[in-house]
């Protein structure tokens, strides 16, 4: 992607009323190649599709309690984009872990924000830049089972980035979005109940030692 195109996509499609003091973009050169072709995969949204697979019950992206070293307070949400995991810190060296889908190459970011709002079955308004890339998308879609935003959404700070559900649960574990983080609908419903407005959210490319 040319620098001019990348800049326009980052500033507009991904909403960058982001505070540059708190949030930074992860350069493609720093993202590594551990995931191979997944890093450049661009899976088109499928408005209207209804998936019956709402939870990852098995495999590496299934919700589970794991060992997790962190100095953050219990209840803090920590996202590791390179690992494709979201953690809720539990204290005592543990965290509840969920598998997620993350931003594709050129759309990943890091920083500290708070959950500013929550919504059940959120509406979807694709930004103009997304429509330019996928002109078949609707300009507005009411919330519901066929909405790509899924069952729940947690809005991150003053940005349009969200942690939300999806009607494409098979994309969990991949780098395919324009900067948002997606969970299977059953997982986002569970997360939604655990995370109140005001929760601190830390987005990192990978775990820090």
Q: Is 164 a catalytic residue?
A: yes
57 phi and psi, to 5 degrees? -80, -20
- Among the options 15, 56, 80, 180, which is catalytic? 180
Catalytic residue among 56, 80, 164, 205: 164
Is residue 80 part of the annotated active site? The answer reads: no
**CA-to-CA distance for 84 and 90, rounded, in angstroms?**
19
Query: Which residues does the annotation mark as catalytic?
Result: 164, 180
């Amino acid at each position: 992607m040319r620098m001019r195109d990348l800049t326009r996509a980052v500033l507009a499609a991904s909403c960058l009323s982001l505070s540059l003091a708190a949030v930074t973009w992860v350069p493609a050169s720093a993202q590594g190649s551990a995931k191979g072709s997944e890093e450049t995969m661009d899976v088109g949204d499928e408005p209207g599709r209804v998936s019956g697979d709402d939870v990852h019950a098995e495999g590496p992206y299934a919700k589970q309690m794991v060992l997790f070293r962190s100095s953050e307070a219990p209840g803090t949400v920590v996202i590791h984009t390179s690992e494709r995991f979201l953690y809720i810190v539990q204290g005592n060296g543990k965290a509840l872990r969920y598998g997620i889908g993350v931003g594709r190459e050129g759309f990943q970011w890091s920083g500290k924000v708070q959950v500013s709002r929550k919504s059940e079955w959120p509406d979807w308004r694709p930004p103009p830049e997304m429509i330019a890339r996928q002109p078949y998308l609707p300009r507005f879609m009411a919330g519901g089972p066929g909405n790509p935003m899924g069952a729940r959404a947690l809005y991150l700070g003053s940005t349009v980035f969200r942690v939300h559900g999806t009607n494409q649960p098979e994309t969990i574990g991949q780098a395919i979005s324009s900067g948002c983080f997606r969970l299977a609908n059953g997982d986002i419903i569970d997360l939604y109940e655990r995370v109140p407005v005001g929760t601190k959210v830390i987005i990192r490319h990978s775990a820090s030692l």
